[in-house]
Structure 1
Amino acid sequence: MSREVFTAVVNPAAGAGAAAGRITRLARALREGGAAVTVTYSRGLGHATELAAEAAARGHAVLAAGGDGLAGAVAAGLAGTDAELAVIPAGRGNDLARAVPLPDDPAAAAAALRTLPSRAVDVAEADGRVVVGSVYAGIDAAANDFANRRRLPRRPFAYQLAALAVTVTWRPVGYTLTVDGETVRLSGHTVVVANAPWYGGGLRVAPDALLDDGQLDLVTVGALSRRKLVPVLAALRRGAHLGLPGIATRRVRQITIAADRPLPVYADGEPLGRGPVTVRVRPAALRLIGVPEPAASY
């Protein structure tokens, strides 16, 4: 296998401008290896989707250079086509890139991009938006909202700082979940619907999630006291929270999340609204370069 033509869709603001430098080095290495590369810069998520769809129509493999929000936007332009996507981590969270890592060295990454196989993976769809990572409504989304509004440093630790700040005044939410047609009521701190294992800048919220199993992993955190909630947040980084009291998980195909008060809802690190939200799986909707084989080895 050898891919010859690429389009890079770049978020120029990602990583405080680091995305542009990274894609420049990678594009140079690809060209030195004989590939053709077109570099485009997005003006926003909608524009990134348009750029990706145009590249797919030309038969190009597409590189998403930015964070998880950009990856989801690019995936939206490619879902349902035969175009292949590779994720170039250059944002704050880079959680999808953890599931499909590329070498840091530009020459090695270029070689991998030209030769690694692609596989069909699932995406989630949340009220019409394509999501490659996770949708979440609760203390984590509130922390994401806090980090964005306070303009905290665009680094993974910003999520943890924001979570600590939000925890001080947070109170449990009354959720009504419609899970594959079954109504479930929950008092808790968050509901996460995950397509990939990581979210929040390296928190392994759904360690058993697979990109290609035709399902989504639902993870809920019950109404734990603040004293018991803090260790759960710490365990998330290691993916060691699933056995702790108050944590529940199951696999689903569709879920509607409603709450007893307005809550921010986030998807791939980007605001989605204030709920309710319906999330469903779209199996094998996207071709992703570098998915480990077999998928169960994540």
Structure 2
Amino acid sequence: MPKKVTFLINPHKQQELASYVSWVLNQCPTHQITVFDRDWPFTLEGFEEVWVMGGDGTFNYFVNRYPTCSLPIGLFKGGTGNDFYWKLFGDCSREAHLASMLAGVTGRFDAGQVNEMLFLNGVGIGIEGEVLRSMEAIRHIKGGLGYYLAAIPALFRFKHYRISGLPVFLCMVFNSSRAGGGFHFFPMASVEDGELDMMICEPLPVWKRLFYMPIIQSGKHVGLPFLRFSRVRQKTIACDRVLRAQVDGEVLESSTFEFRVLPAKFEFIKPL
């Protein structure tokens, strides 16, 4: 019997991704694939597997819309940054990736939760939220370049905040390694260790913010003296004002952020 697969496409990118979807369907004659590129189904009942095509924001929407999903999940790259996809598949070709999808070898991977939102990649509190707001205007510029163009103005204007009285320029809590289309904030992070990685950066003058940006992008910042890294399973971060946070490319506003790890939360199809 053919495997029953539901294929969920980012509805805002259906035209952009149409040729990729058609190519996938032509390569899968032994699968019974139902495509949803506008309104996603209310339930995944009746399917044996779910494929999702989009970027980090699409994957974030998926896990929050179907938080109890127990089906094997196949991720297809189709976004601006594709950072969580990269964590699982690296820079493999479309052909190699589809071969993994068809083989269906799976593993269970962690997720995180902040307040009421699930996340796969990570959360940046403060300046990351401001960068995300700026990126809304330049989403057509993909990857690290778009992140740079959005981040530089924010680096000039963002003022530090306080966590439990401690002045902070940046606080990030991640499940995975990178964001922003290739900024390796947590090069040591694992999505299978049952922990979240946390980084706190002390206030910095503007010239240091600019100087260290490419160093952080490359993931060579772990030993810098103004950064503190830790690993947590559960953590409450109380800020001295309401801040924007980016959660896998989505915005969350609050003054208090309650984190917890969700070990082995979802079953993902992984590389052969």
- Is TM-score (shorter-chain normalized) higher than 0.5? yes
CA-to-aligned-CA distance 1:97-132 (integer Å, 9 cap, x gap): 111117433x44332102142111111112221111
Q: Distance in 2 between matches of 1:10 and 1:35?
A: 17
Map 1:221-232 to 2 at 5 A: 221-232=201-212
Report the counterpart of residue 140 of structure 2 in structure 1: 153
1:93 pairs with 2:73: no
1:39 pairs with 2:28: no
* Deviates further, 200-209 or 2-11: 2-11
Aligned partners of 1:146 and 1:162 also within 8 Å: yes
Structure 1 SS opposite 2:157: coil
Cα shift at 1:152: 4.8
Q: Distance in 2 between matches of 1:123 and 1:269?
A: 15
Which of residues 181, 185, 206 is equivalent to 1:201? 181
Cα shift at 1:273: 2.1
Aligned residues: 270
Report the counterpart of residue 219 of structure 1 in structure 2: 199
Q: Distance in 1 between matches of 2:26 and 2:166?
A: 52
Q: Distance in 2 between matches of 1:269 and 1:196?
A: 14
Report the counterpart of residue 117 of structure 1 in structure 2: 105
Summarize the Cα distance change of 1:3–1:118 in structure 2 as closer, same or farther, 3 Å threshold: farther
* Deviates further, 247-256 or 2-11: 2-11
Q: Distance in 2 between matches of 1:208 and 1:20?
A: 36
Report the counterpart of residue 130 of structure 1 in structure 2: 118
Q: Distance in 1 between matches of 2:222 and 2:114?
A: 24
Structure 2 SS opposite 1:71: helix
Report the counterpart of residue 226 of structure 2 in structure 1: 246
Structure 1 SS opposite 2:74: strand
Aligned partners of 1:126 and 1:280 also within 8 Å: yes
Report the counterpart of residue 295 of structure 1 in structure 2: none
**One-letter amino acid of the structure 2 residue matched with residue 239 of structure 1:** G
Report the counterpart of residue 3 of structure 2 in structure 1: 4
CA-to-aligned-CA distance 1:12-55 (integer Å, 9 cap, x gap): 324x8433332221122122xx1121110245xxxx5xx3x722
Identity level (%): 23
TM-score (norm 1): 0.83
Report the counterpart of residue 268 of structure 1 in structure 2: 248
**One-letter amino acid of the structure 2 residue matched with residue 271 of structure 1:** V
CA-to-aligned-CA distance 1:119-157 (integer Å, 9 cap, x gap): 111111122211111011121221111222x34534122
Report the counterpart of residue 182 of structure 1 in structure 2: none
Aligned partners of 1:19 and 1:91 also within 8 Å: no
Cα shift at 1:81: 4.2
Aligned partners of 2:240 and 2:255 also within 8 Å: no
Which residues of structure 2 form unaligned runs of 5+? none
**One-letter amino acid of the structure 1 residue matched with residue 32 of structure 2:** A
* Deviates further, 272-281 or 216-225: 272-281
Report the counterpart of residue 239 of structure 2 in structure 1: 259
**One-letter amino acid of the structure 1 residue matched with residue 59 of structure 2:** A
**One-letter amino acid of the structure 1 residue matched with residue 224 of structure 2:** L
Q: Distance in 1 between matches of 2:7 and 2:65?
A: 13
CA-to-aligned-CA distance 1:237-258 (integer Å, 9 cap, x gap): 2111111121111110122223
TM-score (norm 2): 0.90
Which of residues 20, 25, 43 is equivalent to 1:54? 43
Cα shift at 1:211: 0.7
Aligned partners of 2:235 and 2:258 also within 8 Å: yes
Report the counterpart of residue 56 of structure 2 in structure 1: 68
Q: Distance in 2 between matches of 1:175 and 1:20?
A: 45
RMSD: 2.3
